[in-house]
Amino acid sequence: MNNNYELYKVFYWAAKTGSLTQAAKALFLTQPSVSHAIKQLEDSFGITLFYRNAKGVSLTQEGAVLYSYIEQAQVLIALAEENMAALKHLHSGELRIGGSDSLFKHYLLPHLEQFHDKYPGVKLFLNHGTTPEIISFLKEGKIDLGVVRLPIVDPQLQVRESFQLQDCFVAGAKYAHLKSETLSLERLLEHPIILFSRNSRARMAITELFQSYGHQIKPEIEVGSVDLLIEFAKRGLGISYVTREFVSKELEEGSLFEIALDVPLPPSRVGIMTMRNMPLTRAASRFMESVK
């Protein structure tokens, strides 16, 4: 048995109002159409669902049993429609983003703040990790989009380039004598180097760059956060490789200075990646529009 949903809707309103006329008005139908729909439903079950009374119609015992189920279904459908409207207008929903701690802190934070102010009903979920981890999160459906350093070459992913960052080597007061020098890579490697973890895109990029010049960069210290890269350099534990935009405050106040090199360090690009051919949620789509 596979009755049309419209028949159940007519049955619901006839039972709810106790009147075929009122049911017809609620559904913008004629009364004969309502009567015909109820007869179709009764014929399909082989059961009488209503009996007529002085005021209109009342449910039979069997009709009351059917109504107990249809009423629940109507409530759920109405709730679903309300939720769909809320999602459409971003009064509710969620936005799940993956990225590194540093990108969240130094780049995404103002965008997230603006989005939250505009759509306070949308819950924000941030997943932290390295680029390979963020890619896995995206493919596993744990996030809607990921913000990572490029390049990313993966046929399953679609990447939109967003902005550029400039990496550099920085040091603290202990290495003040290097301020006036322009170092070769060989001279730089004579000092202790502090790098981010091996799985990071920035680490891979600087390793490849040094290899292209015939050098191996072997850090004396490896850390798992940009904050530690900054702090270790300030304390004189070595020369850290960081993103210039992430240490602008320290460079301005003089607690760190940039090491000048005789070779250029190419800028790194940051992009927003999503699953190819996978529709974005309304919240994710609106966030993508707000991030340039």
Query: Rounded CA gap, 239 and 258, in Å?
Result: 10
Confidence band (pLDDT; 50, 70, 90) for 81?
A: confident
Show the tokens assigned to 24.
Answer: 């017809």
pLDDT of residue 1: 61
Q: Tell me which residue of 189, 191, 181 sits closest to 206, measured CA to CA.
A: 189
Query: Rounded CA gap, 138 and 194, in Å?
Result: 30
CB atoms within 10 A of CB 42: 18
**Range(s) of the chain covered by CATH 3.40.190.10:** 94-151+275-290, 167-266
Q: Classify 236 in phi/psi space as left (phi over 0), alpha (psi -120 to 50) or beta.
A: left
CB-based contacts of 48, cutoff 8 Å, min separation 6: 42, 60, 62, 63
Instruction: Give 95-148 pLDDT, tens digit per residue.
Output: 999 998 889 988 899 999 999 999 999 999 999 988 889 999 999 999 999 999
CA distance readout (Å), 132 to 100, 150, 208: 11, 12, 17
Instruction: Give 58-72 pLDDT, tens digit per residue.
Output: 999 999 999 999 998
Instruction: Give 147-200 pLDDT, tens digit per residue.
Output: 998 889 899 999 999 889 999 999 999 999 999 999 999 999 999 999 988 778
Q: What is the mean pLDDT of the chain?
A: 92
**Range(s) of the chain covered by CATH 1.10.10.10:** 5-88
The CATH number of domain 167-266, selected from 1.10.238.10, 3.30.70.100, 3.40.190.10, 1.20.58.220: 3.40.190.10
252 or 106, higher pLDDT: 252
Answer whether residue 211 shows pLDDT above 90.
Answer: yes
Q: What is the CATH number of domain 94-151+275-290?
A: 3.40.190.10
Query: Given this structure, which CATH class describes domain 5-88?
Result: mainly alpha
